[in-house]
Structure 1
Amino acid sequence: MARRRRKQEDRATTGSGPHKRRPLLRLAKWAFVLGVWGLVALAALVAYYAHDLPDVERAMAETREPTVTFRARDGSVLATYGNAYGGRVELDALPPSLPRAVMAVEDRRFYDHHGVDPLGLLRASWVNLRAWDVVQGGSTITQQLAKNLFLSPAQTLKRKVQELILAVWLERTFSKDEILELYLNRVYLGAGVYGVDAAAQRYFGKSARELTLYESAMLAGMLKAPSDLNPRHHPDAAHARTETVLNDMVAAGFISDARAERAARERRRGHAAVSTSGRYFTDWAMKRVRGRIGTPRRDITVHTTLDPDLQRVTQRTLSDTLAEEGRAADAGQGAVVSMTPDGAVRALVGGSGYAETPYNRATQARRQPASTFKPFVYLAAVEDGMTPDTRMVDEPVTVNGWSPENYDDTYRGEVTLREAFARSINSVAAKLIARVGAETVVRAAHRLGITSELQPHPSLALGTSEVSLLHLTGAYAVFANRGRDAQPYGVQRITADDGEVLYEHPDRPGSRLVAEPHVRRMTDLLRADIVWGTGTGADPGRPAGGKTGTSQNARDAWFVGFTAELVTGVWLGNDDGRPMDGVTGSGLPAAIWRQVTRQALRGVPEKPLPGRTPRVADKPEGESTRAETGSGGDGVISRIIDSLDGGSSRARTPQEGPESHELNRGR
């Protein structure tokens, strides 16, 4: 009895009886049950979201829009169409600073977790809680790769669960190095660029294999906000972020304080952007690419004919002219095309600046060419048996009810075709088209490369039907190409990413379009215009030929001409057809042509024009040429017409006047 009483007292003292143990057992029991059900719920959730996981094999196949990269003659990149993906770079080929910089800011424990980092999640949660904002993410590099490869960026529970599932799958399927390599080659780094190699090319003009520590830290820093940290557009923000990355690399033990300080002093702002001036050309060339190979189905590189130095000179010359003299004369826009005699386009500028006005006036606009159309009239006359020394009378004339006038309402009487062409005498042009027929002139223009519809009216002699600058310049190239076809082209070769050649421009002479004797006669006329005609303002100081043109009320002003090496066309005007204030083809367009030609041929030895010895064109008696006064030209005065061209008698000195602005008085 006493023993039983002592046991009861002991139980009361220690509180370890059956009644006291039951609540703990019940708690453990319910914890176990809830845990089991939690696992069941988690399994159900995983199963629910796993049944419609994306097609992993298809996503890994890197299906995307093909990239078309345009390169200039010197191999430099002009433009990239589609999203830019760099070449795949193996992890071992990258500088160690790049993956370390990425891990320092994105996932320091990358090599220590299995796709999901609980410690990283806790750390990010604590940092966000203290900041009362989302300032740090807890996703691992593996999770980010899963999202980039397979999922949309939508912030949903489904996407997060699937991201975790795929991250575990990636960890089980690939090694850590392979995952990091995939991530670096696929990650988005702003400006339509994917992968560190494409980013290195875009921002620093080099391969990712050549990145410095500072550049590696800058790319890693851009992962947080690629657009806001673009080193081209936001250099200060990009530099500040780069310093943060360098400090994170120190904290992670990847580099020393001293090395981080040295790198921070580098202060790179990013490689100079690809010039947008080449976009006029590449927009035009892109249509040629589709015409040659259809819509690209894989990455291709287009090797072009463009000379980037000449392109920059041409764009700057036009832009500066429009901004200064053009503004004063109410000339709002312009275009310039330069090509070799066989049609390879070296520069193509379609406006004052692509960023402000991407409309391509060199290829898309159709404008009245005015007197720059006259070479087709004179070609038809030459092919009809006439020569530069053929004489005609400059006098009032009416053709089918149309009566053109000369600018100054004066007439010179008997003149040679050479003088009529060089002085842009309208009455003679009207007589020529009446003699050979407007249809013959239309056929001549179309044969040389003019593609637009031409109205066979006598006024066509003064360039009343609209043409494009590109095709007009290409037609003049036939004269520089000794009468052979010179269709403008910009695509030299197209290659696939594996090196396969998909297209190559044929390396053979164009077909014969104009007989050589007729080319010599036309060169005579075109040369005279620059030496002592309306085009003297274009004289580049070497053998050249060309023609000025000004349409009705100075709505269009042109100069198109050539040397033995280069053919260039210039147009100025306003998009709405508004008249300019006193701008004629012999003024600003001729000056632009002269400057571009001189810059392009600086240091290049002079060559005679096709079929000609280095001498000036015959001028009317008593007329002083620039060659004689030492200010240009290409030799002493001598007779031009060779035995194939017949006689060479001279005409009297005419009175020179400015170019006309009016339809019936154009020059």
Structure 2
Amino acid sequence: MTEPWWRKASVTGRMIGRACLSTLRRIRLRHILIVTGSVGILLLLIGGYSIATLPLEGGLKVDPTPSALVIEADNGETFATRGVFKGTKLTATDLPAHLTQAILAIEDRRFYSHLGIDPWGILRAVWRNWQAGGTREGGSTITQQLVRLMFLSPEQTLRRKVQEAILSLWLEHQLSKEEILLRYLNTAYFGAGAYGVDAAAQRYFGKPTNELSLAEAAMLAGLVRAPSQLAPTRNLGGAKERADTVLQAMVETGAIAAEQAEAARAEPVNLRTPPETPPGTNYFVDTAAADVRRLLGGASGDLTLHTTLDLELQRLAEGIIERRLEADGQQKNVSQAALVALTPDGAIKALVGGRDYEASQFNRATQARRQAGSLFKLFVYLTALQKGYGPQSTVVDRPTQIGDWEPQNANGRFRGAVTLRTAFAQSINTVAAQLADEVGIPALIETAKQLGVQSELPAVPSLALGSAEVTLLEMTRAYAAVATGNERIEPYAVRSIQGGSQKALSARPAPGSSAGSLGESRAAMLDLMQAVVREGTGKTARLPNVPVGGKTGTTQEYRDAWFIGFTPDLIVGVWVGNDDNAPMNKVVGGDLPAQIWHDFLTRAAPLLAKGKSAPAPAQVAREPDPSSPAPPPPAAEIVRGVPEVLDTGTLAIRGTLVRLEGIQGERGNMARQLTRFLRWREVACAPSSMPGVQRCQIGGYNLSAIILAAGGGRATADASEELLAAEEQARSARLGVWRRGR
């Protein structure tokens, strides 16, 4: 019986199907092998190329820089730093346990168990960042970070990632875990110019690494992820928030107990340098740095400078100049001003080189050379006095011609016979020209050079009226020489320099008498300069019950205006004008410069009388010091607790609404910053002498003064002198609400 055809077809179909399936399997396997082989070859090529192109000179580059400078004011307060801090290379015994634990908790929890790369750490970081909605944790191990610092460039490419992985595995076989961690801490950047943890400890806290507290260690550990953004000298609130995250990570890893974390959060962190160093002091810092180069040349290592700067006088000078230019600058077409204040021995107590250091680092007190105008008459009259003239000598104000030059008086009139004292006090040009012609221009130049003028002085008749270009500092120096009776006063900004071992590298000797003396001519010159303020062009500078002498100066077309004057305590020079040499709106030396001088000396006199001013605002840039508490109000009247910030002038403490004395409250960013500052801190408030407001204290300081000095608000009309001084400090430094553009 023959097999049905349909059965034969079915068998044939099955055979064909099996043959096709086998063929497909062979094709798929061949393709998989081809693809797998290609990927393998590609990875081998990438790996080989990455290894072949490993950078021999990659890694972190620290440009050669002059010595790092820590700058202290005359009262020992650190107020500025400069340069790159290198610190010292630490050994394992130098590291406190809590610093190591903080670094590992926040940067690499599985450091001692992985081989250089931690897949679980990467997954954990991805999960935490997804939960937080932003980058809170990185996936790179400490070994990978060290590899980047030592060998690799910052480029974000596949090749660099492969190189990083290969080098991390290699480094783990070359070094022990302790060596890797130590090299990392000695190399990492911690912000504010500090490379290595020792440099960071010295930079921020002024102490060696082994003395760091848990709170300080947590703050440093939190910086390495974003050092420039979180450096506490520029973002103290952000640094504290990051330190809180580090402390929480230490609790999660079992490094510390929750109680220890809470205690560390409540611990005040005292910075060696204040956050947001006022930019105006940078003009002085530039001058101090130049002194260091002159005294030490190319000295290396971190240096501490004890300078002459009086921070209160500096803030006062900056505030007065800013306020005067804001009030009168536009109307009088004046955009710039400079001020320098010297003590009788030449110490620079205050130096304002311009209105805004951030906009222009050009120092108009030490670098700008401008025509002196009638200010130069000091040398004309002093030379004449040395040649036999006296204050009562008669001179004639008349039309005068010397060669082709015909000097004119400012008012266009002539007075006839006048005394030398009157001619100087009224700044009569024709008399100065005649005296200069009589004593000789070379004699004027010699007198100016003897008193410290270093600028080039052309030997022309118009020199008598200040046609030469000079600096404010050298002219103030010359007036100081007459005020003190010494022929040469050397202005200086640095009293002593110490190296990292606190060994004195340079110290200024005690002031002594000058080799030369002005003799009898000095007394006569003082008489003339006092007449300027008493009855002449400088009457605006008069101070009650204080002897004042000085001289005004105005150049042609009102391009420059000067006033330099002195009291028994200070010699102060002021210049106003425009950088582009544009004429001002009829501003003379007895106008805006004398007004600035008067404002400054009026406020400076009581500070100097007390020996040294140190009101609370001078300290507010630092964290409050619990060791210096102020006497508290009676306990029954105190509202005490951790506050909730409604605005910068209004708090809520345990359900009680507290309005701070002397502050117009600000919301928004200012309030958020205050919230971060007050977090976990207890405030004590009591009724103020003003109705409806409270005086609150934190760490012994007036909270209102702290807020105003940081620019967190504006002072009210009835604010105390203390609070107004704090506001002026913030305004001069353009902090907070006083930033330009607000």
Q: TM-score, normalised by structure 1?
A: 0.74
Superposed displacement of residue 266, structure 1: 7.3
Q: Counterpart in 2 of 1:597?
A: 601
AA partner of residue 494 (structure 2): V
Partner of 2:418, secondary structure, is strand
Q: Which residue of 1 aligns with 2:457?
A: 454
Please state how far the C-alpha of 1:354 moved relative to its aligned partner: 0.8
Distance 2:324 2:100 in 1: 49
Pick closer, same or farther for the CA change 1:91–1:588 going to 2, 3 Å: farther
Letter in 2 for 1:555: R
Distance in 2 (CA, whole Å) between partners of 1:505 and 1:261 is 47
- Once the two structures are overlaid, the 10-residue window that deviates more, 496-505 or 201-210, is 201-210
How far is 1:496 from its partner?
Answer: 3.6
User: In 2 relative to 1, CA 284–62 (structure 1 residues): closer, same or farther, beyond 3 Å?
Assistant: closer
What's the offset of the Cα at 1:111? Answer: 4.0
Aligned 8 A contact 2:144 2:165 in 1? yes
> Secondary structure, in 3 states, of the residue corresponding to 1:575?
coil
**Which residue, out of 568, 571, 579, partners 2:575?**
571
Match for residue 350 of structure 1 among 353, 358, 373: 353
1:387 shift after superposition? 1.4
CA gap of 1:310–1:86, structure 2 versus 1, over 3 A, is farther
Change (3 A) 1:135 1:545: closer
Residue identity in the other structure for 1:548: T
Aligned to 2:228, what secondary structure does the other structure show?
Answer: coil
Q: Is the 8 A contact 2:552 2:564 kept in 1?
A: yes
Encode CA deviations 1:592-611: one digit per residue, 9 max, x unaligned. 2123234444254599xxxx
| 1:65-99 Cα distance to aligned partner (Å, 9 max, x none) | 44330423333344433323456677766665443
1:357: how far off?
A: 2.1
Aligned to 2:479: 476
Equivalence for 1:275: 278
Aligned partner of residue 602 in structure 1, secondary structure: helix
CA contact (8 A) 1:542 1:606 kept: no
Q: Which residue of 2 aligns with 1:220?
A: 221
Among 555, 561, 569, the residue aligned to 2:559: 555
Alignment of 1:228-243 (within 5 A): 228-231=229-232, 238=239, 240-243=241-244
Q: Which amino acid aligns with 2:223?
A: M
Corresponding residue SS for 2:470: coil
Corresponding residue for residue 618 of structure 1 = none
Pairs within 5 Å for 1:170-181:
179-181=180-182
Alignment partners' CA distance in 1, 2:316 and 2:525? 30
Distance 1:505 1:268 in 2: 34
How does 1:484-499 map onto structure 2 within 5 Å?
A: 484-499=487-502
2:245 is aligned to: 244
Aligned counterpart, 1:661: none
**Structure 1 pair 496/173, CA: closer, same or farther in 2 (3 Å)?**
farther
CA distance in 2, matches of 1:181, 1:432: 74
User: Could you tell me which residue of structure 2 aligns to residue 107 of structure 1?
Assistant: 108
* Superposed displacement of residue 411, structure 1: 3.3
Q: Give the whole-Å Cα distance in 2 for the aligned partners of 1:303 and 1:179.
A: 38
Residue number in structure 2 paired with 1:546: 550
Alpha-carbon displacement from aligned partner over 1:480-503 (angstroms, at most 9, x marks no partner): 231331132223334443455544
Alignment of 1:144-543 (within 5 A): 144-155=145-156, 179-199=180-200, 213-231=214-232, 238=239, 240-257=241-258, 260=261, 271-499=274-502, 501-507=504-510, 509=512, 511-540=514-543, 541-543=545-547
Alpha-carbon separation, structure 2, partners of 1:149 and 1:286: 31
Q: Structure 1: how far apart are the matches of 2:338 and 2:346?
A: 17
Instruction: Quote the Cα distance in structure 2 between the aligned partners of 1:133 and 1:315.
Output: 41
TM-superposition CA deviations, 1:178-218 (whole Å, max 9, x none): 65454334321233332345445656677766766555444
Q: CA–CA distance in 2 between the matches of 1:479 and 1:426?
A: 22
**Structure 1 residues 520 and 94: CA distance shift in structure 2, 3 A:** farther
Match of 2:588 in 1: 584
Return the offset for 1:332.
0.6
Tell me the alpha carbon deviations over residues 13-58 of structure 1, each in whole angstroms, 9 at most, x when there is no partner. xxxxxxxxxxxxxxxxxxxxx9xxx9xx99x9799949978599xx
Q: 2-side partners of 1:177 and 1:404: how far apart?
A: 81
Give the direction of change, closer, same or farther, for the CA distance of 1:443–1:260 in structure 2 (3 Å limit).
same
- Larger Rg, first or second structure (1 or 2): 1
Mapped to 1, the partners of 2:268 and 2:308 lie a distance apart of 36
Aligned-partner Cα distance in 2 for 1:322–1:210 = 47
Distance 1:128 1:317 in 2: 49
| 1:283-332 Cα distance to aligned partner (Å, 9 max, x none) | 23333333333344443344433222222222222122112222332211
Q: 2: CA distance between counterparts of 1:449 and 1:402?
A: 28
Q: 1:60 to 1:405 in 2, by over 3 A?
A: closer
- Relative distance call for 1:341 and 1:127 in structure 2 (3 A) is closer
Amino acid paired to 1:469: L
Local SS of the residue matching 1:227? helix
Cα 1:97–1:319, aligned 2, differ >3 Å: closer, same or farther?
Answer: farther
Contact 2:552 2:562 in 1 (8 A): yes
The 3 A distance-change label for structure 1 pair 356 and 209 is farther
Letter of the 1:139 partner, please give it. S
> Could you tell me whether the CA contact under 8 Å between 1:342 and 1:485 is conserved in 2?
no
Deviates more, 1:128-137 or 1:118-127: 128-137
Structure 1 position 71 matched with structure 2 position 71: yes
Residues 197 and 326 (structure 1 numbering): CA distance in 2 closer, same or farther, change over 3 Å?
Answer: farther
Show the 5 A alignment for 1:36-75.
49=51, 65-72=65-72, 73-75=74-76
Q: Higher mean Cα deviation, 293-302 or 256-265?
A: 256-265
State the alpha-carbon separation in 1 of the partners of residues 135 and 344 from structure 2.
Answer: 63
String of CA shifts for 1:153-180, please: whole Å, max 9, x gaps.
3446776676567667776777655654
Report the more deviating stretch, 167-176 or 580-589: 167-176
2:564 aligned partner, one-letter code: V
Checking the alignment, whether the CA contact within 8 Å between 2:106 and 2:137 is kept in structure 1 is: no
DSSP-derived class of the 1:194 partner: coil
Segment drifting more, 103-112 vs 407-416: 407-416
Does the aligned pair in 1 maintain the 2:91–2:182 contact within 8 Å? yes
Kept in 1, the 8 Å contact 2:306–2:495? The answer is yes
Does structure 2 conserve the Cα–Cα contact (< 8 Å) formed by 1:486 and 1:510? no
In the alignment, the residues of structure 2 paired with residue 298 and residue 409 of structure 1 have an alpha-carbon distance, to the nearest angstrom, of 61
> What is the CA–CA distance in structure 2 between the aligned matches of 1:418 and 1:426, rounded to whole Å?
13
- Deviation of 1:114 (Å): 5.8
Q: How far apart are residue 361 of structure 1 and its match?
A: 0.8
The farther-off stretch of 415-424 and 388-397 is: 388-397
- Output the CA distance in 1 between the equivalents of 2:468 and 2:207: 49
Mark the runs of 5 or more structure 1 residues left unpaired by the alignment: 1-33, 608-667
Shift of 1:419: 1.6
Change (3 A) 1:571 1:170: same
* 8 Å Cα contact 1:448/1:513 also seen in 2: no
CA 1:132/1:298 → structure 2, altered by over 3 Å: closer, same or farther? closer
- Tell me if structure 1 keeps the 8 A contact 2:50–2:163: no
Answer yes or no: is the 8 Å Cα contact 1:317–1:596 preserved in 2.
yes
- CA separation in 2, counterparts of 1:132 and 1:319? 43
Deviation per CA, 1:597-653: give whole Å up to 9, x if none: 34444254599xxxxxxxxxxxxxxxxxxxxxxxxxxxxxxxxxxxxxxxxxxxxxx
The structural deviation recorded for 1:447 is 2.1
TM-score (norm 2): 0.67
Distance 1:358 1:309 in 2: 22
CA separation of 1:76/1:60 partners in 2, compared to 1, >3 Å: closer, same or farther?
same
Give the corresponding residue for 1:18.
Answer: none
Q: Percent identity among equivalent residues?
A: 45
Q: 2:595 is aligned with what amino acid? A: A
- Alpha-carbon distance between aligned partners in 1 of 2:394 and 2:459, rounded to the nearest angstrom: 25
User: CA 1:60–1:462 in structure 2 vs 1: closer, same or farther (change >3 Å)?
Assistant: closer
